């Protein structure tokens, strides 16, 4: 079974079984679509055997998955070239002494980070090299956090790892096979309306604020996903429901109220717990409540009962 390659904030590894409990049975799923892909835990561990699509608004993230799918050997060759994050900068490459703002570059990690930020600075870059840099930074940055500033630059500091594994050879090869034949998009989540057909399953895990404020949502890219976007997602779910498409959405508890008026249309909301492993504040890594919205005809749990739902 393929495993996720990247650490990704908001990833659903902790509640994967609870999410899958809300899916329709395997024989009812005709295709699979994931408009907010992120780390892809649900796809890799559960839904990679279906034809379908994946999407994410983060351009560099989507470039990474396209390279994994289409050029795994070239990606692995690039990953072999990296040195330890605490090594001296490479004098044969740009930014070996200072970054774009003239600040001293003290280690290999910060040189790679500056090279990775060529795309948002409108500089020439190689897509395979950029994909390798993304994985390297993801595996060596502080706490596996992906964060961009308002200019779209990755700005997470270096982490402290005794033996970081940035090559991820087996995972890349298995993920490449899992992605074969899957269409990959880098656009607004509404694309799925043109691709999901009756009997398909659409799983949505949009960005949101774990604190529970429905009006503000976490930013893991320079793009903002706010309350209006959550309402657009709800409207898309209603449209897909009318067309016979299964929809499952994991979200912040406060967002459940957006679906409350549509319980008679088949949408149910259940609360689950999820431990947050990626947080700059160690006190913020405890268990939080999330909601799972679904219109699946049969809500399956381990004991065979319908999950209790509340708003």
Spell out the domains of the chain, with CATH numbers in brackets.
16-58+186-294 (3.40.50.150), 65-171 (1.10.1020.10)
pLDDT higher than threshold 80 for residue 86: yes
pLDDT higher than threshold 60 for residue 149: yes
Task: Give whole-number Cα distances, 62 to 38, 130, 167, 180, in Å.
Answer: 9, 11, 18, 15
pLDDT higher than threshold 70 for residue 176: yes
Q: Report the distance separating Cα 67 and Cα 128, nearest Å.
A: 6
Number of neighbouring beta carbons within 10 Å of residue 76: 16
pLDDT higher than threshold 50 for residue 216: no
pLDDT higher than threshold 90 for residue 118: yes
Count, residues in the chain = 311
Percentage of the chain lying above the pLDDT 90 cut? 68
What pLDDT score was predicted for residue 191?
A: 98
Query: Is 97:185 a contact under the CB 8 Å cutoff?
Result: no
Q: Report the distance separating Cα 71 and Cα 33, nearest Å.
A: 22
Query: Is 105:89 a contact under the CB 8 Å cutoff?
Result: yes
What pLDDT score was predicted for residue 225?
A: 75
What pLDDT score was predicted for residue 275?
A: 55
Percentage of the chain lying above the pLDDT 70 cut? 84
Q: 89-93, 123-127, 143-147, 283-287: lowest mean pLDDT where?
A: 283-287
Using CB atoms within 10 Å of the CB of residue 181, give its burial: 0 to 12 exposed, 13 to 18 middle, 19+ buried.
exposed
What pLDDT score was predicted for residue 311?
A: 31
Arithmetic mean of pLDDT over the chain: 87
Q: 8-22, 71-85, 92-106, 203-217: lowest mean pLDDT where?
A: 203-217
Query: Is 19:42 a contact under the CB 8 Å cutoff?
Result: yes
Q: Average the pLDDT over 176-185 and give the result.
A: 97
Q: Average the pLDDT over 22-48 and give the result.
A: 94
Helix spans in the chain (H): 16-20, 41-42, 59-70, 72-79, 108-116, 127-140, 169-179, 227-242
What pLDDT score was predicted for residue 159?
A: 96
Q: How confident is the model at residue 298 (pLDDT cuts 50, 70, 90)?
A: low
Q: Average the pLDDT over 120-135 and give the result.
A: 98
What pLDDT score was predicted for residue 307?
A: 47
Q: Average the pLDDT over 289-299 and give the result.
A: 79
Q: Average the pLDDT over 56-82 and give the result.
A: 97
Q: How confident is the model at residue 274 (pLDDT cuts 50, 70, 90)?
A: low
**β-pair partners for 248:** 203, 294
pTM: 0.88
**β-pair partners for 54:** 34, 184
What pLDDT score was predicted for residue 166?
A: 97
What pLDDT score was predicted for residue 218?
A: 43
Phi/psi of residue 248, each to 5°? -130, 130
């Amino acid at each position: 079974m393929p495993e996720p390659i990247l650490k990704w904030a908001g990833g659903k590894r902790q509640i994967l079984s609870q999410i899958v409990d809300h899916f329709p049975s395997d024989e009812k799923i005709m295709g699979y679509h994931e408009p907010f892909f992120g780390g892809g835990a649900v796809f890799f561990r559960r839904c990679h055997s279906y034809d379908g699509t994946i999407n994410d608004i983060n351009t560099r993230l989507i470039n990474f998955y396209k390279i994994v799918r289409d050029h795994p050997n070239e990606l692995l060759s690039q990953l072999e070239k990296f040195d330890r994050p605490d090594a001296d900068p490479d004098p044969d490459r740009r930014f070996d002494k200072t970054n774009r703002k003239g600040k001293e570059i003290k280690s290999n990690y910060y040189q790679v980070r500056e090279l990775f930020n060529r795309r948002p600075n409108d500089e020439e870059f190689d897509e395979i090299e950029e994909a390798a840099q993304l994985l390297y930074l993801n595996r060596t940055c502080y706490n596996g956090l992906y964060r961009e500033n308002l200019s779209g630059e990755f700005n997470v500091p270096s982490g402290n790892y005794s033996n970081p594994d940035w090559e991820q050879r087996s995972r890349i090869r298995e993920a490449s096979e899992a992605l074969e034949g899957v269409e990959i998009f880098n656009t607004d989540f509404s694309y799925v309306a043109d691709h999901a057909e009756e009997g398909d399953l659409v799983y949505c895990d949009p960005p949101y604020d774990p604190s529970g404020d429905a009006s503000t949502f976490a930013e893991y890219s320079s793009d903002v996903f706010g309350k209006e976007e959550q309402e657009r997602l709800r409207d898309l779910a209603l449209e897909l429901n009318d067309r016979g498409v299964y929809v499952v959405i994991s979200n912040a508890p406060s967002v459940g109220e957006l679906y409350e008026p549509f319980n008679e249309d088949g949408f149910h909301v259940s609360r689950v717990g999820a431990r947050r492993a990626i947080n700059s504040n160690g006190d913020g890594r405890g268990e939080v409540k999330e909601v799972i919205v679904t219109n699946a005809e049969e809500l399956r749990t381990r004991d065979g009962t319908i999950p209790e739902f509340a708003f």
